[in-house]
Structure 1
């Protein structure tokens, strides 16, 4: 429960309603505070024309912002639908968390409420002369803010929801998760070891779901409290069900501990998330490529762009793995992320769906060669296996002899670089 609350709070800034609520509260407070700030002015301002026109300005802002909000929402909904049909529905969570679109919508809504509150205050005689002057200057600041937001929003609309934008978003999320796992192998715990035969399994006690977060600090603290050692058998992204062990406990009294205290450190939800799951970003990238390679779309160029993005993701993982941080938790043996699984999630799926497209197969072999030559100690086994697998799939479909020979040469380069 504690982990679920922490996760919910951490996701609040990604919610559209949360940022809109903050902007709206600030706007209402600014409009209401004009009357309180007015008496603090050290002199009598002679701006009767400005103070008299503030009502008209606020009326224009209120009417225009209502139209802009409706237009912006329709554009965003259209972009979400386009992303679902052209890429994959899994990209929607990243689009919903977009800072620029949230700031634009929140600013428009905040301006609308600021204008409404100001108009109501003027109509009710809430403001004196000084208060109207303060409200006028606050309105000028809001207009400047709206102008800057509109310029940024127009620029955003030129790319928002386009294929390159979606690929970039997924690449950023995947790189972030992979970089974190490279810097913190085994989830910042101890390396996995053989689980003792007397270890006690702690199984999932709810319906099946997907692990989205593991609180290693809470696991270590609970293990220290009970004097046991924890052996994690799952990592974020894994499917769990009541019969599957989440972890094992060893040590004196391991069979008498409060199992729920350990379960509370593992959050199980219905959908995967990008936060701690390094494989999910690669899966979503491969889904975009698979959609592009389908006969209905037939867009190998997008698949090649996805392969380039995936290559950069693996590079981020390798660079972070070169300088890992020291393990922080001594009583928890974390799970190991298999490089072979990462390659299966990404390269093998694209090689399968693009088996008959020689340009896609060439780029697969080129990316594998780049990884094998740059970081052989990390990727040599997985790269050679993925290269052979991709070649076998291509040879089953491609009949043109020069293309077949070219792919064989490229695959052999990958294998040779791995063996050397």
Structure 2
């Protein structure tokens, strides 16, 4: 349960409320703590700031921050809509994830709450002379911070929601997932299965995407019950009800009563999170498929933007061939009592390039770039399976594109590109 809550906190589409909530709590505490000045600062050492002066400053902050917050939220909604229309709806969480956007909105809401609470406390004569002086200094600091945040926010909204911004965010997220795969191809589990038949099997109770696997807790359970656990599906797989998820290989049959056994099954199922939507976490394929969607959409009749499709192809090539820096070591087996089904490397090629190729058979430039990118992958990929898949898909792209071109010089140019 805690693992699912942790996932919820890291999901940008579901945790947008956290920063404003924390900011609001901090603003309330910050505005009320000014009264401590009455106890720690001698009255002779402070200026006598009138309540009217403070009230004017707080009025400015309250009125302006309410408007700025409303404007910022409308900008964010527009950016999300623009990203969905120009790139893909699957890129929306990456826009929500933007740190500057989240900090700016949380800051504006917090400043509004700070000014309202401080103004109410001021009306009740909550602050003395020293308290008003501390509140005045605090308000000046808040104003300076808001000026800085507004300037940075202006820079952020200049590109927020644009297609180029979406492409950069998708590539960055996809590259992170691929790097993690390069470092831990099996998510830190082992490769080998015990040489025995599985006595216990855990089946799915839901239909949806396998989004996360809590390997750390599975390892703890395997140690506690002295068994090996095999994960039968990779994160990102669409599973159906009663589909096999886990297989247990105990060193000896479990000596547990019905209640304890049911608790173990429940704990094991809690380690496998199934949701309606896929997640970038633990799934290197998802980011590539999102980038492929951008390329497909760019070639639709309503958009017809070949340059964006070419940019998507370039990004896909970079993501597939990305390698971790030399100072990062390959982590093969962090969980020795766990094993997981290997990733089919063909899933990094065929489902990614084939849809773009199908949507651009009549476009010579796109077809040539697809062929060239697949050649680059086949030359530079370290895995033999990935090389073979790229070569096979290159042939299919050539045949598919050749059938879609009617102008003979275009067909000859495509042949020349393929035979290079």
TM-score (norm 2): 0.91
- The size of the alignment, in residue pairs, is 412
More helix by share: 1
Does the 8 Å contact 2:357/2:397 carry over to 1?
yes
Coordinate RMSD, CA, aligned? 2.4
Following TM superposition, by how much is the alpha carbon of 1:407 offset from its aligned partner in structure 2, in angstroms? 2.5
Following TM superposition, by how much is the alpha carbon of 1:85 offset from its aligned partner in structure 2, in angstroms? 1.9
Name the residue aligned to 1:283: 289
Q: Quick check: 1:148 aligned with 2:154?
A: no
Does the 8 Å contact 1:185/1:324 carry over to 2?
no
Does the 8 Å contact 1:171/1:313 carry over to 2?
yes
Q: Quick check: 1:297 aligned with 2:296?
A: no
Quickly say closer, same or farther: Cα 1:377–1:281, change in 2 above 3 A.
closer
Name the residue aligned to 1:308: 314
Deviates more, 1:323-332 or 1:40-49: 40-49
Q: For 1:122 and 1:6, how far apart are their aligned partners in 2?
A: 40
Name the residue aligned to 1:224: 223
Name the residue aligned to 1:39: 39
Counterpart of 1:186 in 2: which secondary structure?
coil
Q: For 2:85 and 2:102, how far apart are their aligned partners in 1?
A: 22
Q: For 1:133 and 1:51, how far apart are their aligned partners in 2?
A: 10
Name the residue aligned to 1:240: 239
Following TM superposition, by how much is the alpha carbon of 1:312 offset from its aligned partner in structure 2, in angstroms? 2.0
Following TM superposition, by how much is the alpha carbon of 1:211 offset from its aligned partner in structure 2, in angstroms? 0.6
TM-score (norm 1): 0.91
Quickly say closer, same or farther: Cα 1:50–1:306, change in 2 above 3 A.
farther
Name the residue aligned to 1:80: 80
Q: For 2:64 and 2:123, how far apart are their aligned partners in 1?
A: 20
Name the residue aligned to 1:418: none
Does the 8 Å contact 1:69/1:108 carry over to 2?
yes
Deviates more, 1:237-246 or 1:254-263: 254-263
Does the 8 Å contact 1:205/1:242 carry over to 2?
yes
Deviates more, 1:212-221 or 1:368-377: 368-377
Q: For 1:307 and 1:18, how far apart are their aligned partners in 2?
A: 36
Q: For 1:343 and 1:201, how far apart are their aligned partners in 2?
A: 35
Q: For 2:391 and 2:12, how far apart are their aligned partners in 1?
A: 43
Does the 8 Å contact 1:289/1:350 carry over to 2?
yes
Does the 8 Å contact 2:354/2:397 carry over to 1?
yes
Counterpart of 2:126 in 1: which secondary structure?
coil
Q: Quick check: 1:393 aligned with 2:400?
A: yes
Q: For 1:295 and 1:255, how far apart are their aligned partners in 2?
A: 60
Name the residue aligned to 2:265: 259
Spell out, residue by residue over 1:171-224, the C-alpha distance to the aligned partner (whole angstroms, 9 max, x if none): 11111111111101111111255x867324624342211111011122222223
Does the 8 Å contact 2:209/2:239 carry over to 1?
yes
Name the residue aligned to 1:28: 28
Following TM superposition, by how much is the alpha carbon of 1:91 offset from its aligned partner in structure 2, in angstroms? 1.1
Quickly say closer, same or farther: Cα 1:367–1:227, change in 2 above 3 A.
same
Name the residue aligned to 2:258: none
Name the residue aligned to 2:210: 211
Does the 8 Å contact 2:69/2:109 carry over to 1?
yes
Deviates more, 1:119-128 or 1:367-376: 367-376
Q: For 2:74 and 2:21, how far apart are their aligned partners in 1?
A: 20
Q: For 1:402 and 1:274, how far apart are their aligned partners in 2?
A: 42
Does the 8 Å contact 1:231/1:248 carry over to 2?
yes
Name the residue aligned to 2:92: 92
Q: For 2:141 and 2:201, how far apart are their aligned partners in 1?
A: 58
Following TM superposition, by how much is the alpha carbon of 1:113 offset from its aligned partner in structure 2, in angstroms? 0.7
Q: For 1:112 and 1:215, how far apart are their aligned partners in 2?
A: 40
Q: For 2:2 and 2:39, how far apart are their aligned partners in 1?
A: 47
Q: For 2:171 and 2:50, how far apart are their aligned partners in 1?
A: 50
Following TM superposition, by how much is the alpha carbon of 1:52 offset from its aligned partner in structure 2, in angstroms? 4.8
Runs (5+) with no aligned partner, structure 1: 414-420
Spell out, residue by residue over 1:316-350, the C-alpha distance to the aligned partner (whole angstroms, 9 max, x if none): 25768x95223111121222122211112322221
Paired residue for 2:368, among 362, 366, 375? Answer: 362
Name the residue aligned to 1:162: 162
Q: For 1:217 and 1:353, how far apart are their aligned partners in 2?
A: 42
Note the 1:124-135 alignment, pairs <5 A.
124-135=124-135
